[in-house]
Amino acid sequence: MKKKDKILLLVDCIVNSVLGLVLLAFPFGSGEILGLPVSENNFYPLILGAVLVGIGIALFIEVKYYSKGKSGLGLEGAIIINVLASIVLILRLIFGHLNVSFFGLIILWFVGISVLVIGLAEYFRSRLF
């Protein structure tokens, strides 16, 4: 990978990670500061923050390990994004008080568990074979 490409990906990694961490650390108010739609709960800023941090980590893997045959935006990136986003969603479902219908809760639990299982399956597949 060319040095300019590495620098660009590293800058992208830093921007995604910082924005994601801000959303995770300060879900209330960060949306308003960033010009995002304001909601009555912190559900969407948390999920977006988790995905952005996952993308930032995947970009870091891409920069660090590209020359060693690994690709952060491939399987490793998918694992990180899936596991991180699903854990944040599941924690939000456990500890948060979402104003969602029972059917909505079932859907969100299904999504959270499904994405976590897919991420873990990808991880074990990449490590075992």
**Res 36: pLDDT:** 61
DSSP of the chain: --HHHHHHHHHHHHHHHHHHHHHHH-HHHHHHHTTPPP-SSSHHHHHHHHHHHHHHHHHHHHHHHGGGT--TTTHHHHHHHHHHHHHHHHHHHHHS-----HHHHHHHHHHHHHHHHHHHHHHHHHHH-
The pTM is what? 0.73
Contact (Cβ atoms closer than 8 angstroms) between residue 73 and residue 42: no
**Domain span including residue 49:** 3-128
Q: What pLDDT sits at residue 37?
A: 62
What is the rounded CA–CA span in Å between residue 11 and residue 29? 25
Residues 88 and 48: their CA atoms lie apart, in Å, by 10
- Residue 26 φ/ψ, nearest 5 degrees: -130, 65
**32-79: per-residue pLDDT in tens?**
676 666 677 788 888 889 999 999 998 888 888 776 666 667 777 888
Provide the domain count of the chain: 1
